[in-house]
Structure 1
Amino acid sequence: MSGMIQVLADTVAAQIAAGEVVERPASVVKELVENALDAGAGVVTVLVEEGGKKLIRVSDDGAGIAQDELALAFARHATSKLRTVADLDRIHTLGFRGEALASIAAVSRTTIVSRARGDSAGATAQVEGGEVRYVRQAGAPVGTVVAVENLFFNTPARLKFLKSESTERRHIMQLVSNYAMAYPNVRFRLIMEGREQFHSTGSGDVADVLVEVFGLEAFKEMLEVSPQPPSRPDLPPIEVYGFTSTPNLNRSNRSQIILFVNGRTISDQSLTYAVVQAYHTLIPSGRYPMAVLMIALEPDEVDVNVHPTKAEVRFRAPEAVFSAVQRAVRRAVVDQAPVPPMGGDPYGSVEDGWRPAPSADQPPRAMVPGEEQLRMELNALDPGRYAHQRPDYMTPSPQPQTAPTEIPEGIGRPARPRTLPILRVIGQVGAMYIVAEGPAGLYLIDQHAAHERILYEQFMAEQAAMEPVAQRTLDAATVELPPAAAHLVEEAQNVLAGLGFEIELFGANTFRVRAIPALLADREPGDVLRMIVQDLESGNEPGGVTLEEKLVRRVCKTAAVKAGQTLSYDEMQGLIRQLERCESPRTCPHGRPTMLHISGDELAKQFGRT
């Protein structure tokens, strides 16, 4: 070991400490918003430029800071919120360590203007890289304004690891909307890149905030959660209230299960699981509800001093909190959830391949728009298109025509090579699987996965040829989205246009949909756009597929034949004929197998013929 042991300089120590508190621009917003709420603010305004790297400004109308304490506010471990170690057991504020302003100022140029209630004048101070530049008197209204500029200017390694501006803006949007839900009596306003992205009324009603965050249509599917009495008299009093979704409204991930403990947004896998468990048998496996839940308990029953960012907490009685959350949500869902309509989509997951099988005594019904794609009597190079894109679908040619992929008679080769042996349809099992015979044995084909593969390769071929097939809507559909979702759609407009969407901004958080991909021509444009938003919200995972490919997969998954749909012999044979010419016929675009093969030898073995 070389070198001498020495005490680090204060600026170096401050920058190291800042690394634990200030992970990204959203961390700065979090700390400043919490300070504003602790100061009793009724109005909080957040302004962001370049995803927070250039500027973050948070202003409030709270109690303010006295002029003679302004410089002290930037000292490490300077706080007005606790005095002794014992105070840690009864914390009623969001902040308490006195590290936020010091950590932020250590990695930025921070300017603060504040006037305490009762003072005749305010004061301003500036700290850059942890060093105080000035403190002087200034005119200001009651409250505080903190401006953080050039974040991480003196820690280039941290700056290099920040995500894209759109990702950082999304984190800030999520954080501000979370605090707006936790503090509905406070009026929040978020301005990003010069445009208002979110505002809440401060009415005190959390329902008003939920409408702003999730949109009116989603809120209509939310159920109010009320506190339940403890299951045992020896358990501490725990109140769980808020809103949770009906089983009809569910998502593909847990990201919209939002939890607060005593007004503090937290991340807790156990409590998230408690919410999911409350829907046991009510929603399909792999789907998750939406929920915004407030958990209130005595401060000495929860330890908030276990994580640098205070994002995790530890409960004195974790089993009691788990039970309280699960019971409150389950009671709300069981008591209030509406009965799913007959023939509807009770779980909202038809695009995932689920649909109730028709009963045997159900009377025949009229064909719905778009169902004619199942006839499969299509050119193998052009599978799955809808009827109004093929105006002659009702008048088939009296003479059979040879598809371009058929092996021609005489000299010549097929337009696309065969990737599977010739298969002959035998029948259908459970309205889900096609049974086919080939020279190498028996094949069971998942009709949904197979059609998804066919549509995907067609779509990608059109993309490669720069010929996305779009279907213009008869009347432009107007769709209003929650602020966060609208921001994502606006950023992805170029990608969406390349897939056949024609979407234009039509007011704040409102879009006009003029065209959608032709494969989805029988779908409601607003529903299609909301479906796409789910993929935009999930973002790009490291090492995962691109956003464009993810959206293509979503379009094909939605348009493909569903499990539970009975197909005619010609429809099944047409699907298999197209699958035989796919480049990768054995898996769907998501990697699931499209078929199972049982060889002739295996069949003979199972029947004892070997």
Structure 2
Amino acid sequence: MPIRLLPPEVADKIAAGEVIERPVSVAKELVENALDAGADDIRIEVVQGGRRLIRVSDNGCGIPAAEVELAFSRHATSKLSSADDLYRVQTLGFRGEALASMAAVSRLTLTTRPADEEAGSLVRVEGGQIIDREALGRPVGTTVLVENLFFNTPARLKFLRSDATEAGHIARLASSYALAYADRRITLQNNGRLVLRTTGTGALLDAIIAIYGLDVAEQTLIVPPSESPGGIRVSGIIGAPSVHRPNRQDIVLFVNRRWVQNTSLNVAASDAYRTLLPNGRFPLVILHIELPPEDVDVNIHPTKREVRFRHARDVFAAVQRTVRSTLMAHHPIPVSPPEYGGPASGGGTWQRREALAHLQRPAPEQSHLAMDMYRPGDRPSDTGPFVVPETPPERLPMLRVLGQVAQTYIIAEGPGGMYLIDQHAAHERIRYEELRAQRERMGIATQELLDPLPIELSPQQATLLEAHTATLATFGVAIEPFGGNTYLVKRVPAGLADGDIIAAVMELLDAAAQGGEAFSWEDQILITLSCHTAVRAGRTLSIEEQRDLVRQLERAVLPHTCPHGRPTMIHLSQAQLEKEFGRR
């Protein structure tokens, strides 16, 4: 078959397939163009998941009449002038492919007017060909209407998901850019129904309320701006450990205000919650990462969602360190929230929004809950200023042990109510911190086994074990080959000898086999050892043993979760107890 040049219309459709993959690709390119144009009011309308209609209107700078048709030429852009500009891109768009690509696979109508022209321009394009051009009156800004997407590429149309799924992708896009640009008003309508409207106040918490609601917003922590070497600056808002998700969809990251996908940064944010979240759960993280434009490459893929960093390790460390330090500064006890908005409260929603507004401006050296919870009546009179209570300390208050329930939970009384403590989870946290401290000081106390225990491993497990026997030895675990896939456990940390040693070793190897990029042998060994040396649920404890366990938990650095991320206790406030018993 001879080599020949493709016809322009075929080449355009191939190129469009890289940029416009589905309806959300159209919405993304148009929203980014609006943001680059300086718009502070952006409206998105979607019909039938975007395959029937997508309209994006803005009040940006508009396109001069002399350049309107040129805007539909491939690689025509106002954002780059030389190859050197690619090394310091400061706009969301820069490739000059978006309008040409979406016009090649749809029926597109563009109307626009810049501030210095009296009349606007209208251009209609169908399948990449301009079919109409006229002048018209309209306000300053631009509106792009994309209809019948993929009408001339039916194969692509067949691979689209349901209308609800495609509309969901567009909603996530609008939400993400509302979080990146909290100073812009962004509105989304789907089939005539209002889905999202942000206020554009510039306060990130206002955008979070609009997207996630007050209940989530009151469980968030402000990440104050922190600067790392290399000019890396990280700020934003993260969820407290009580807010977690089944997937990473709510880890939303922006690099120089660009919404990006980066596996390494996702891992960094998740890893900061290590030992604070249950296994298989992921945090709510909204971070703005700023760094010199020349240190980030956004010209990786036509969609511009993927980025590469010149100093990737430094960015990873900055994200992980900033999120972790914010969590350590404030980690509240799980508590059942009080009711709001009752007749006596005078309007709980106003009360919560007011607290949110005050906490949006923290002192630079502090981290706060983005929203604190209050009982009705906590708000002072309207004649005085609203005062936000101090952030509670991380350490537990002194507790008075009352007894044990179901041989699993310790009941204790403390300031402001009752505490139910999971004895196994609490002792896991105590053992975890004890083992970590022992290893840092002088090494973990060990015990030689009089009769070494044989253990049969699969080839994968044997390979993992042999690669990390030295690491295990530093934690007091000595395992040696015995022939074939059989190994002998000869030494273990003190306290594990009476436990299920084989189960502990197998659990560690299974975790290592399933672990991803963020897996840490050192941390997993500590987690496994603390679990298998902790007191079990179902064991009866004397009152003295209960008191001793609670006293040790009070001295823990992170007493509120076990190393697996489960809560160690639940706090039932006095107000909630009174409500349940009908006393208020």
TM-score, length-scaled by structure 2: 0.58
Q: Cα gap change, 1:122/1:229 in structure 2, threshold over 3 Å: closer, same or farther?
A: closer
2: CA distance, partners of 1:282 / 1:208: 27
Q: 1:358 matched to which residue of 2?
A: 408
**Are 2:243 and 1:249 equivalent residues in the alignment?**
yes
1:314 aligned partner, one-letter code: R
Q: Does the C-alpha gap of structure 1 residues 360 and 22 become closer, same or farther in structure 2, counting only changes over 3 Å?
A: closer
Matched, 1:297 2:347: no
Unaligned runs of 5+ in 2: 339-393, 395-404, 421-535, 541-584
Paired residue secondary structure (1:241): strand
Question: Which of 150, 155, 178 pairs up with 1:152?
Answer: 150
Instruction: Report the CA distance between 1:209 and its aligned residue.
Output: 0.4
Aligned to 1:237: 231
Task: Determine what percentage of the aligned residue pairs are the same residue.
Answer: 49
Structure 1 residue 135: Cα displacement:
1.7
Q: 1:104 is aligned with what amino acid?
A: M
Q: CA deviation at 1:276?
A: 1.0
Deviations 1:340-374 (A, max 9, x none): 35999x9xxxxxxxx997346779xx9x9xxxxxx
**Residue 305 (structure 2) pairs with residue 311 (structure 1):** yes
Shift of 1:228: 2.5
Q: How many Å separate the matches in 2 of 1:202 and 1:224?
A: 19
Instruction: Name the structure 2 match of 1:140.
Output: 138
- For 1:342 and 1:134, locate their aligned partners in 2 and report how far apart those are by CA, in whole Å: 62
Distance 2:337 2:165 in 1: 40
1:80-100: per-residue Cα shift (whole Å, max 9, x none)?
A: 000110000111100001000
Distance 1:82 1:282, change over 3 A: same
Compared with structure 1, are the counterparts of its residues 82 and 358 closer, same or farther at alpha carbon in structure 2 (3 Å cutoff)?
A: same
Report what 1:222 is aligned to.
Answer: 220
SS of structure 2 residue aligned to 1:20? helix
Alignment map for 1:64-143 (pairs within 5 Å):
64-143=62-141
Q: Residue by residue, what CA displacement relative to the aligned partner does 1:257-280 show, whole Å, maximum 9, x if unpaired?
A: 111111111111111111111111
Distance in 2 separating the partners of 1:229 and 1:132: 49
The within-5 A match list for 1:17-416 is: 17-230=15-228, 235-341=229-335, 358-359=408-409
- Separation of aligned partners in 2, 1:135 and 1:256: 43
Distance of 2:319 and 2:301 partners within structure 1:
22
Q: Which runs of 5+ in 1 are unaligned?
A: 347-354, 369-562, 568-610
Q: Is the 8 A contact 1:261 1:296 kept in 2?
A: yes
TM-score (norm 1): 0.56
Task: Look up the match of 1:478.
Answer: none
Q: How does 1:426-505 map to 2 (within 5 A)?
A: none
Aligned AA (1:335): A
Please tell me whether the aligned partners of residues 223 and 337 of structure 1 are also in contact (alpha carbons under 8 angstroms): no
Q: Residues 361, 121 of structure 1: CA spacing in aligned structure 2 closer, same or farther, 3 A cutoff?
A: closer
Q: Which amino acid aligns with 2:161?
A: K
Cα gap change, 1:157/1:228 in structure 2, threshold over 3 Å: closer, same or farther?
A: same
Give the 5 Å matches for 1:450-599.
Answer: none
Deviations 1:319-341 (A, max 9, x none): 00001101110111110222335
In structure 2, the partner of 1:436 is none
Cα distance between partner residues in 2 of 1:361 and 1:147: 63
Per-residue deviation, 1:566: 9.8
Deviations 1:443-491 (A, max 9, x none): xxxxxxxxxxxxxxxxxxxxxxxxxxxxxxxxxxxxxxxxxxxxxxxxx
RMSD over aligned Cα atoms: 2.6
Pairwise CA distance, 1:285: 1.9
In the TM superposition, residue 227 of structure 1 has moved relative to its aligned partner by 2.6
| 1:69 Cα offset (Å) | 0.6
- Per the alignment, residue 416 of structure 1 pairs with none
Q: Is the Cα–Cα contact under 8 Å of residues 228 and 327 in structure 1 kept in the other structure? A: no
Q: Secondary structure at the match of 2:199?
A: coil
Q: Secondary structure at the match of 1:284?
A: coil
Q: CA deviation at 1:287?
A: 1.5
